[in-house]
Amino acid sequence: MSDTVIRFDLPQSDIPHHWYNIQADLPRPLPPVLHPGTHQPIGPADLEPLFPMALIMQEVSQDRYIEIPDEVREIYKLWRPTPLLRARRLEKMLDTPAHIYYKYEGVSPSGSHKLNTAVPQAYFNKQEGVSGLTTETGAGQWGTALSQACSFFGMECVVYMVKVSYEQKPYRAAIMRSFGASVTPSPSSLTQAGRGILAQNPHSTGSLGIAISEAVEAAATSGGKYKYALGSVLNHVLMHQTVIGQECLKQMEVAGAYPDVIIAPTGGGSNFAGISLPFVHQNLTAGKKTRILAIEPAACPSLTRGKYVYDFGDTAGIAPMVKMYTLGHGFVPAPLHAGGLRYHGMASVVCELYDQGLIEAQAVPQLETFSAAITFARAEGIIPAPEAAHGIAGAIREAQAAKEAGEKRVILFNLCGHGHFDMSAYTAYMNDELTDYEYPQEAIEAAMAQLPQI
């Protein structure tokens, strides 16, 4: 491959025909999901009030590949396959012998990877006669994607947006409303969960856990009109995202390279899983030795400082309990700008991979993250979302380590979304209004004291 090539594209015929399900290859099966009331393993009937049966079956499937419906692939053609790019200008700026590649998911209509799962979730709900979907959103990228997907299928969309992000990113809410969604800052007075939080703290800035509680309650009390859709964490959500990594495998082959390390930001685990799981499959079944590195914020360090225990997926304790690395379901994050990464727990699949030593994790502080974002933008011309910038910070760390070691490493990271609607965060950074924040150990210990006893 020519040393001047920087972009590696695939034809639409190379859009994957199947999602990859890593449950077929895990050395140790996932721990069971528990009912929040009985603490017993849940079955399909327990999930049916919230999800369509097709997605429930995907959630528990042990099949290695799940076929992507033709109607979903047709919508994928609006932006897939997404480009793989060689960050040559960044390499030069860093003066590193490393070769840096990034998969750019910001070319989707919603501006991030989230539409990869929003479309099939809306499709399978529509197939089962559901009128609309409820959901939560942090930074707003998931809410944007689901509102677009619901619009594609003529469905209603009800979004509870974490209040601090709602205030920081008003144009995200405007986009969702443009696609017909209703958007409510969370916690709100519309649900029992929201009213309970406001009674305790009228000035609550919200969290993903709180917004999940509200969205789950809204679906469960709708009399079957609505189902609930989640943008991360669940097995079927991570599986839908594997179109990213499957395309990457082909694109790296076109580039004549194979990654020594794969890096992605990690909040609930969806974009990280999307790029990494097909490569984990290669590690497990084809003898590859690629390092897989999850990057999370130091202000919300679930993998690096949480405990691997059963916890509720939401703040109010009405969602199922999952064994995961958690900071405690009562965790309310500092009002930092990486809203999509401010979740108290982590996807079960990602937690199992980490617990089994199949992936690594690092936490990076906010100022390093924004410094990396500015460096990348000035080199490559793309303003990354603050969430995506965590992955860039990890890639820069690896590139600098390669320079110090004098090694020609191949680095691949997932640029999961652009930051065009995050400029208030960039303005705050450039005005020296942001600070680093380490989540206090005493706060973690207090949250751990409230964990359910299993």
Question: Which residues on neighbouring strands pair with residue 156, listed in sequence order?
Answer: 132
Q: What is the pLDDT of residue 437?
A: 77
Per-range mean pLDDT, top range of 2-6, 170-174, 353-357: 353-357
Burial label for 258, CB within 10 Å (0-12, 13-18, 19+), is middle
Tell whether the model's pLDDT for residue 36 goes beyond 80.
Answer: yes
pLDDT at 283: 97
Spatial strand order in the sheet of 261-265:
7-8, 84-86, 99-104, 410-415, 261-265, 291-297, 360-364
Topology of the domain comprising 20-63+114-233: Rossmann fold (3.40.50)
Q: Identify the pLDDT of residue 129.
A: 96
Q: Region 70-94: what's the mean pLDDT?
A: 98
Instruction: Give pLDDT, residue 328.
Output: 87
Contact 115, 149 (CB under 8 A): yes
Q: CATH number of 7-14+69-111+236-448: 1.10.3720.10, 3.40.50.620, 3.10.20.340, 3.40.50.1100?
A: 3.40.50.1100
What mean pLDDT comes out for the span 279-303?
95
- Beta strands 65-67 and 182-186, pairing class: unpaired
Please state the domain extents for the chain.
7-14+69-111+236-448, 20-63+114-233
Q: Is the pLDDT of residue 134 over 90?
A: yes
> What is the predicted pLDDT for the residue at 209?
81
pLDDT, one tens digit per residue, over 319-345 is 788 999 998 887 766 665 554 556 788
Q: What is the pTM of this model?
A: 0.94
Residues above pLDDT 70, as percent of the chain: 97
User: The tokens of 376 are what?
Assistant: 């990348």
Strands 7-8 and 84-86: antiparallel
Q: In sequence order, what DSSP letters do the residues of 120-182 get, joined into one string? A: HHHHHHHHTT--EEEEEESSSHHHHHHHHHHHHTT-EEEEEEEHHHHHH-HHHHHHHHHTT-E
pLDDT, position 1: 46
- Angstrom distances, CA of residue 30 to CA of 33, 184, 187, 242, 360: 9, 34, 32, 18, 18
Is the pLDDT at 445 greater than 90, yes or no?
no
pLDDT band at 244 (very low <50, low <70, confident <90, very high): very high
CB 299 within 8 A of CB 439: yes
pLDDT averaged over every residue in the chain: 92
Residue 99's DSSP bridge partners are 410
**What's the pLDDT tens digit per position in 400-437?**
999 999 999 999 999 999 999 888 889 999 999 988 87
